[in-house]
Amino acid sequence: MDRPFSDYVRSVRQKRAEIDPAFSLRRIAGVVDLEPSYLSKIERGLEAPPGEEKIKRLAAALGEDPDVVLALAGKVSSELQAIICQRPALFAELLRTFRNLPNHAVARVVREVRDGDW
């Protein structure tokens, strides 16, 4: 089995902790507002990842991208889900069309749309 979320969180936090004691498990748990023992189990893959809100706060506390950390937990933020739900057919097609495009092509489209006169 795969534990991408737990491994990632643990390794990022421990790396930060080597330099800054504010990144101890207990202190981070305090900032994120969950029980240290719970975070401990999460980091070791003994518990499933927490809810969306806690993951976002955890990502913020660790200085990581919340969308990425959520993805490691197999989740998509409710904000992005809401975007899709407003125009489901359109965005479903968009996502399926872009699924197999290489990163640079997707990034290029994003850039062009943002810069251009659409």
Partner DNA sequence: GTGAGTGTGTAGGTCTTACTACACACTTAC
Partner DNA sequence: GTAAGTGTGTAGTAAGACCTACACACTCAC
Q: What residues line the site for a copy of itself (CB under 8 A)?
A: 65, 67-68, 70-71, 74-77, 80-81, 83-99, 101, 103, 105-107, 109-110, 113-114, 118
> Side chain identity at 37, as an amino acid letter?
S
- Three-state SS for 104? helix
Locate 48 and state its tokens: 């499933």
Are the CB atoms for 83 and 65 separated by under 8 Å? no
Question: By C-beta, is 48 or 105 nearer to a copy of itself?
Answer: 105
Residues that bind DNA (CB under 7 A): 17, 21, 24-27, 33-38, 40-41, 43-44, 46-54
